[in-house]
């Protein structure tokens, strides 16, 4: 998950065997704001934070991305997803402490990873993503 965050934010990965940076070697803007840097470090922390103490299968970020993926595959609406999160929170209080409280919060996190979408309205009431 750590590599996914680095890739989504366009940070080159360091290859220890070659001793250099792999991928695009463009220079970064020195004018990066503190907000962008804070977002980056928060995503890195979330990708390394255990879902609950002792959990080795999921990090906070990987669990949220799996939940959003299930929502999309199952064609769940936002209200159903929110109710599912509430049920998980009641059943597994310790594991759900730092997780989003709604689909809206989970969607914001996915957008920070570069996995958002833009809605376009069609004249026939269909939606393109």
Which tens digits make up the pLDDT trace of 113-124?
777 666 666 666
In a domain, 50, yes or no: yes
Q: Which pLDDT score is estimated for 15?
A: 54
Check pLDDT > 90 for residue 80.
yes
| 63 close to 99: Cβ distance less than 8 angstroms | yes
Determine the structural domain holding residue 24 and report its residue range.
2-113
DSSP state of 11: P
pTM of the model: 0.61
Check pLDDT > 90 for residue 6.
no
In a domain, 93, yes or no: yes
In a domain, 39, yes or no: yes
Q: Which pLDDT score is estimated for 83?
A: 94
In a domain, 84, yes or no: yes
- Number of alpha carbons in the 13 Å side-chain half-sphere of residue 34: 0
The pairing of beta strand 20-22 with beta strand 13-15: antiparallel
| 5 close to 47: Cβ distance less than 8 angstroms | yes
Provide the number of structural domains found in the chain.
1
Q: Which of 39, 38, 54, 67 is nearest to 94 (CA)?
A: 54
In a domain, 118, yes or no: no
């Amino acid at each position: 998950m750590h590599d996914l965050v680095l890739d989504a934010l366009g940070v080159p990965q360091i290859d220890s065997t070659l001793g250099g940076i792999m991928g695009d070697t463009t220079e970064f803007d020195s004018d990066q704001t503190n907000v962008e840097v804070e977002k980056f470090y928060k995503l890195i922390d979330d990708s390394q934070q255990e879902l609950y103490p002792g959990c080795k299968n999921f990090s906070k970020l990987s669990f949220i991305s799996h939940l959003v993926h299930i929502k999309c595959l199952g064609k769940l609406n936002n209200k159903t997803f929110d109710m599912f999160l509430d049920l998980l929170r009641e059943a597994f209080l310790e594991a759900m402490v730092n997780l989003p409280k709604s689909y809206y919060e989970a969607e914001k996190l996915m957008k920070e990873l570069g996995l958002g979408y833009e809605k376009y309205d069609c004249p026939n009431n269909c939606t393109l993503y």
